[in-house]
Structure formats: C-alpha cells, structure tokens
Amino acid sequence: MRKALPFLSGLLGGAIVVAAALLLGLGDGDDRTTTTIVRQAPLTAQAETAGGSSAADAEDDLTAAEIYEEHAPGVVFVRAQIVGQTQSPFGLEPQQGEATGSGFVIDADGNILTNAHVVDGAVKVTVQFDDDRTVDARIVGKDVSTDLALLRVDPDGLDLHPIPFGSSKDVHVGDPVLAIGNPFGLDRTLTTGVVSALQRQITAPNGFAIRDVIQTDAAINPGNSGGPLLDATGKVIGINSQIATSSGGNVGIGFAVPIETAQEVLPALKQGKPVERAYLGVSSRTIDGSLAGAGLPVKRGALIQSVEQGSAADKAGLRAGGISAQLATGESVQLGGDIIVAIDGKEITSSDEVAEAISAKKPGDKVKITFVRDGVRKTVEATLGNRPVDNSG
C-alpha cells in the first residue's frame, strides 16, 4: 500500500514526506534552484487510548525502512521436507515434497516461532538466515490448535537477532502494521498495511477455533506463514497464519494469531509437552433474532446443538435438541435442547462466551453450568475434561 501525500505523519510504509527549499542564485539574474528532500515518514498509530496517548508512543515510532533494517535479520526462511502417503491403484505409496514458510527468532537460545502447518509431517526442517547460512532445526513443540510450532537451532556460531514481543491488546483498527516473510520463496519481503479488524476467528488445522485474531490488509501470501506481524515500534503483535482468498493469492485479507496466544503456549512448547485445554463437550448456537419465532423460553443464551458422548457435559446431564428446523436464513438448527444461560454465575449470552468461559479453565476444574430446560432454570456441576487433539471430523 503506497501513498505520496506530503507532510502527513500517519502514513504507512511506502509514504514519503517532501520538503522543498528555495535556494537563491548567487548571480544578478532570476535563476532559482529548488531542491527536493525526500525522507520516509515514521509509522504512527493513529488511534488513541482513553488516556489520550497513542497506542504506540510517537517518539518510539520508526519508519518502515528502519523496522526492516533492524528486524529483517531476525526473520528466517523455513524449509520442511515432507513425507506423506498418497493413494494409488497399488495402495498407499510414499510421496515427498517441500513446504516453505517463515519464522522468527524469539531469543538467544535459538528458539524460532513459526506456524504448525508449515512443518506438519516434516521429517527434516532447515532454516535460512539473512546471511544465507542454512542450518538444521529441530521441532521442539507443536500446538495445532493455535497453528503454532517452536523450532530450535544450535545458537553456537550464529548471529541471532531476536525480535521483541509487543501486545495485540494495545492496537486499534487503523493502526499501521508490517509483515516480513518469504512469500512464494522470495526471502525477507516487507509489506505494509493497517489493522483491518480485531477479534476475528479462524479455524485451526485441527478444526478448532482460534480466537482474537488480527485481520490486516498488509499483503500476505503463501510463504508468509509463520512470519511476524509488527507494530509501528517494530514489536511482534501477531504471527501471520492465513489469508482469505478465492485465487490462492492476496486479496487484502490476512489473519495473524495474536502474540498473547503464542505466549500462553510457549512454556509447554519449550518443554516439548502437549498444550492441555479444558473441554466441556458441547456445540452451541447463539440465540439471536433469527430464532425469535422458535418459541424458546429465553431471549438470550447458548442453545445446545450437540453433546459429545462421555464428555463432561454428557456426564453432567446436559442435553441437545432433537428437533431439526430450518430458519428463514437457510440455516439448520436443532431445537429442544438445553439453553446455557450462565457459567459459574456469570451470564452467558452467546456461544462464544461459552467457549471463552471454558478456555479460561483447566482440565479437571469444576464449573457450575446454569441452563434452562422446558422453561425451568437448573444448575449442574461439570468436571472439565481434556480437549481432544482433533475436531475436524
């Protein structure tokens, strides 16, 4: 995204500021010379917090060129040798290929963060640094539910450039961002844009939802996966993960997993342990205006659509509906099930709030589920289980 509007400080990476100085000639004539000085404007977060200060202090803001010069050396080119199986008339046969993506150094110990789908099924992983040096990397940990993976290289003899973490909670729609990665194998490519939306939801490779995702119009293409999304101060606020496209290329809608999500799972990844998450075992549907004519006993809550057999919800006695109905919107819905209206005494008004309440817990925690069944309000206690690895089925 490029703009050439002079004297505006809030422009993005391709913006320039032009200052014209009129120099008078030394002779007696009317000769005048105009010199144009071109410099890049700093990236400035335009949104303000309640206290009146910008999301990123103006004095800390850098130009896109300055951010690239400082942090591009911390971005690596990830190559993963993949071995899979393909069906043929002779049965399953091995198939080899190479997946490429991006990653970035997070500390001096040689830890590198990337996307899980970049190294999925890999039998060998290498990373290439900005000096073209390529070294082997080990997959230390992987969390498919957040599409994050941690690689580790031997730091001896390497000039590592860790990129500092920022906070996605401090950004606003309209704030400038930069992506550095390796789209289509073109190493350490810089693109710029803005935060287009916040609190989006995307689907992880295993079918579970990744929440609080950052949407950006900074160009993100295949090969950018696993690279950093940076704010105006050069700090990582997200890990570029997916794009919305019908052509396979960028259409201005990219998604980055928030850095806070990575910080939550990093302790387990560094130890090579699976990330454990609480699991209730229900799918639900938010009660909204489209269900106004369904004869529900409440106007707000989460209508249970299914209950997994043997899950915490099943053991607690929660029930799904058995009456299939089609709404005016064309959506199919199951009526007649329990409606969750509170968890641990906190009101529930949507299915997202159910997921958020459970995600704040740990496996083995006990929660009180308040629900409405046949117009009667009831409360049961459920002992949360461990979320399964896959939800794609």
- Give the CA diameter of the chain: 98
Q: Find the catalytic residue in 61, 147, 217, 231.
A: 147
Active site annotation includes 225 = yes
Q: Is 46 exposed, middle or buried (0-12, 13-18, 19+ CB in 10 A)?
A: middle
DSSP 387: P
CB crowding 143-160: b at 16 or more within 10 Å, else e = bbbbbbbbbbbeeeebeb
Active site annotation includes 117 = yes
Cα distances from 36 to residues 3, 17, 32, 65, 284, in angstroms, run 17, 10, 13, 20, 62
Q: Find the catalytic residue in 225, 241, 284, 351.
A: 225
Radius of gyration of the chain, Cα coordinates, nearest whole angstrom? 26
232 neighbors 244 (Cβ within 8 angstroms): no
Helices (H), 285-372: 312-316, 351-359
Q: Find the catalytic residue in 61, 102, 117, 187.
A: 117
Q: Are β-strands 323-326 and 16-24 bridged in parallel, bridged antiparallel, or unpaired?
A: unpaired
User: 369: which residues sit within 8 A by CB, 6+ positions away?
Assistant: 280, 313, 316, 318, 340, 342, 343, 379, 380, 381, 382
Active site annotation includes 147 = yes
**So which residues are the catalytic ones?**
117, 147, 225
